[in-house]
Amino acid sequence: MSNPTNSRATGFFPDPAWLALWSEDVLEPDLPIVDAHHHLWERWGHRYLLPELLADTGSGHHVTATVFVECVSQYRTDGPTELWPVGETEFADGVAATSERVDGPTRACAGIVAFADLSRGERVREVLEAHVVAGGGRLRGIRHIAAWDASDEIPPSYPSPPSGLLLDPAFRAGFAQLAPLGLSFDAWIYHPQLAELSDLARAFPAVTIVLDHAGGPLGVGPYRARHAEVFAEWKRGIRDLAQYPNIVVKLGGLGMRIGMFDFHSGATPPSSTDLARAWRPYVETCIDAFGPDRCMFESNFPVDGVTCSYPVLWNAFKRLAAGSSAPEKAALFEGTARRIYRLE
């Protein structure tokens, strides 16, 4: 990274020099982990590709496999525009094949979650089928980001979704194409939209829906001074979602700068104890509502790297799960992700 200070200011890229100011011994180094959510990219002077991912997964925790989630990397640049995202699946599949030839415990991109514009309705079927072919047997689901908020202070998400996307008839016509192909859906939304996801889950009980980043509790802009109110609203939404058996939740994403915590602004990075203390109400609410068999930990790296290093992140998760039984811990760290993403 050519200018770590400026990169930190953007709120998007980790600052290696700052992260190096805090380190700690890895807890439970033999506990198997599937990292259920990470990205790969090279953009704006920041690189996070297979070597960087394997450096993280090899930093002390026993990461057996990872799930790649779409992030607008390596799109095609010619042909029909609706098929451009298939280039990202081709890229992730190539990374997975390379990873299998690397001597080590981690199988990177063992599962792939791609992007397809579901608002194309039934016409998206050919795009989904192209992703299946490009995935080489690794494609597991689709993510079409719906995160939207009326405030201009909330950063827009790609591909700039409109308000109420999950309720849109055209989107739902495209969503209906997932189940016939055996594909799940990753949902990235903000906490005020949780009721919309409940409606979607109720309408499509045959589709497994994976709620990303603990449901996106916002803590910036108009939500900055309303943490208690936001938590109560978010908690109601999480409990409502839990009644739908086709929904599972990823425990992570709480290190993003749009969230409730500002560890990224400290003089030094937080410890895993600091993180576990702050994140506990959110993680425990999800586990209490969904149960360990419907929860999975995720790194959301490199995005959450603005808050802490990879080893510290997983130490925090292990502290949060310290009171769990062995079967519960196995589900949270590996079993749920393997089952939902059908990882061999």
The predicted-structure confidence for 303-321, as pLDDT tens digits, reads as follows 999 999 999 999 999 999 9
pLDDT at 12 over 80: no
Q: Is residue 7 part of a domain?
A: no
pLDDT tens-digit series, residues 177-236: 999 999 999 999 999 999 999 999 999 999 999 999 999 999 999 999 999 999 999 999
Q: Which residues contact residue 79 at a Cβ distance below 8 angstroms, ignoring those fewer than 6 apart?
A: none
- The one-letter code for the residue type at 62 is H
Question: Is 16 part of a structural domain of the chain?
Answer: no
Domain count, the chain: 1
* Per-residue pLDDT tens over the stretch 70-119: 999 999 999 999 999 999 999 999 999 999 999 999 999 999 999 999 99
* Cα 184 to Cα 104: distance, rounded to the nearest angstrom: 29
Any domain includes 17: no
Examine residue 201 and state whether it is found in any structural domain, yes or no: yes
pLDDT at 9: 32
> Is 19 inside a domain boundary?
no
Structural domain contains residue 300: yes
Q: How confident is the model at residue 8 (pLDDT cuts 50, 70, 90)?
A: very low
pLDDT of 220 reads 96
% of the chain with per-residue pLDDT over 70: 97
CATH of the domain at 51: 3.20.20.140
User: Which domain does 295 fall in, by range?
Assistant: 28-340
Q: Is residue 14 part of a domain?
A: no
Q: Calculate the alpha carbon distances from 37 to 111, 323, 341 in Å.
A: 10, 24, 11
Neighbours of 257 (CB within 10 A): 20
**Does residue 5 lie in a domain region?**
no
Q: What is the pLDDT of residue 183?
A: 98
Q: What is the pLDDT of residue 115?
A: 98
Q: How far apart are CA 2 and CA 13, in angstroms?
A: 11
The pLDDT, as a whole number, for residue 156 is 79
CA atoms within a 13 Å half-sphere pointing along the CA-CB vector of 106: 25
Residue 5 scores a pLDDT above 60? no
Contact 134, 94 (CB under 8 A): no
Beta carbons within 8 Å of 135's beta carbon, 6+ residues apart: 89, 92, 93, 112, 114
Residue range 154-180, pLDDT digits in tens = 987 888 899 999 999 999 999 999 999
